[in-house]
Structure 1
Amino acid sequence: MMQVFQKLQEAWVFKVCLSCAVTAAVQEHAQIFAAFVILVFADLASKWLSLSRQRLIERGVESPNLWQELCSIRAARRDGYIRSSAMRTRFVHKILSYAVVVASAVVLDFMLAHAQVPAFATNVVIGYLAITEFISILENMQQSGVEEAGTLVELIRKRSGIMTDKKQETERRNEK
């Protein structure tokens, strides 16, 4: 019996960390948060490609391709197009803002559920945030030279109801 307890105590830190990771991985909220982090990182990477393209164009490359943009990210960082302090500040602010907004929606849904009213806030907030991140990624890709991304942006904006300005909102209302 003592051997069993000794075996359980071996590498206990690893076992605790692994069990926490597995528990988090199967929790829906942890998965949603991880998905948001992936979207934000994809947005960040697409922004770097866009800034790298800007640098290449200013250096005389007429129509840089995606591979050139990717290879030029390090040079764009060195030349100040990509600043880690600005990117880090935006990233942390964005993740913290998302966490606060989603937490507020969860609290609202909790209150609505206790008042026997259908909860909706969390789904709306998560959906809106995911769509806006996806649109941002597509806009960055469009600035990186992927022309098809612009068409997708318009399609997603139209389907989701997320407009960029008053003119688009007026056009949408007139269509109805």
Structure 2
Amino acid sequence: MLTESFAIKALLAVVAEVGIYMLGLKHVQVLGIFICLVFLDLFTKWSAIGYQMLVNMGANPENIGGFDKYIAIPAAWGKGLISSKHMRKPFITKVLTYCLATASAWCFDYMAGNYAFAVNLVWLYLASVEFLSILENLRDGGNTTITGLLDLVQSKVDMLLKK
């Protein structure tokens, strides 16, 4: 169903996004960015699954090119390693969680008379979780150079949480 009239849906989404940015609805703008992060997280997860499929089929990890794991995504779909049902449910859950957490934070900020604290905290947390997930997926997809960055980000996040 997602791919039916995809070009029209994508064009309307772009038009809607431009309209939203022109109106300056910050919460909706950030929701759009968060949705992009979730899509990127799913895509990197698919590439990691494609990479693992290639390794399981006997490919040498050193010989797998950066583009090979992305080409392997349709084959992983065909083998049932990637299921639309399993990927759609987390996407909807993440977006609904974002909306609920942002709405709750906005209510808190409104009641407290501080219009930036809780909402920014929620946005920072949710974006950080997505960012870490993307880095982990890249690492799991055979990108060894990302391991150092992932370790650095995780240590900084841990340090901030311990304060």
Fold shared, TM-score > 0.5 on shorter chain? yes
* Conserved? CA contact 1:106–1:122, under 8 Å: yes
Q: Which residue of 2 aligns with 1:141?
A: 138
Measured against aligned partners, the alpha-carbon deviations of 1:12-65 in whole angstroms (never above 9, x if no partner) come to: xxxxx9996554123221211111011000000000000001111111111122
Measured against aligned partners, the alpha-carbon deviations of 1:116-156 in whole angstroms (never above 9, x if no partner) come to: x6751111110011111000000000001111222111111
Q: Which residue of 2 aligns with 1:39?
A: 37
* Pair 1:162–1:82, CA change in 2 (3 A): farther
Identity value in percent: 33
- Aligned: 1:108 with 2:108: yes
* Conserved? CA contact 1:53–1:69, under 8 Å: yes
The 5-angstrom pairing of residues 132-171 of structure 1 reads 132-161=129-158
Matched residue SS, 1:66:
coil
* Pair 1:66–1:24, CA change in 2 (3 A): same
Counterpart-to-counterpart distance in 1, 2:127 and 2:76 = 28
Q: Which runs of 5+ in 2 are unaligned?
A: 1-12
* Conserved? CA contact 2:35–2:95, under 8 Å: yes
Q: Which residue of 2 aligns with 1:86?
A: 86
Counterpart-to-counterpart distance in 1, 2:115 and 2:98 = 23
When normalised by structure 1's length, the TM-score is: 0.75
Counterpart-to-counterpart distance in 1, 2:121 and 2:152 = 19
Q: Which residue of 1 aligns with 2:20?
A: 24
* Conserved? CA contact 1:52–1:73, under 8 Å: yes
* Conserved? CA contact 2:136–2:150, under 8 Å: yes
* Conserved? CA contact 2:54–2:69, under 8 Å: yes
Instruction: Give the letter for the 1:99 counterpart.
Output: C
Instruction: Give the letter for the 1:24 counterpart.
Output: I
Q: Which has the higher contact order (CA 8 A, sep 6+)?
A: 2
Instruction: Indicate the RMSD between aligned Cα atoms, in angstroms.
Output: 2.4
* Pair 1:162–1:124, CA change in 2 (3 A): farther
* Conserved? CA contact 1:65–1:145, under 8 Å: no
Shift of the alpha carbon at 1:160?
A: 2.7
Instruction: Give the letter for the 1:108 counterpart.
Output: F
Instruction: Give the letter for the 1:55 counterpart.
Output: M
Instruction: Give the letter for the 2:151 counterpart.
Output: E
Size of the aligned set, in residue pairs, is 147
When normalised by structure 2's length, the TM-score is: 0.81
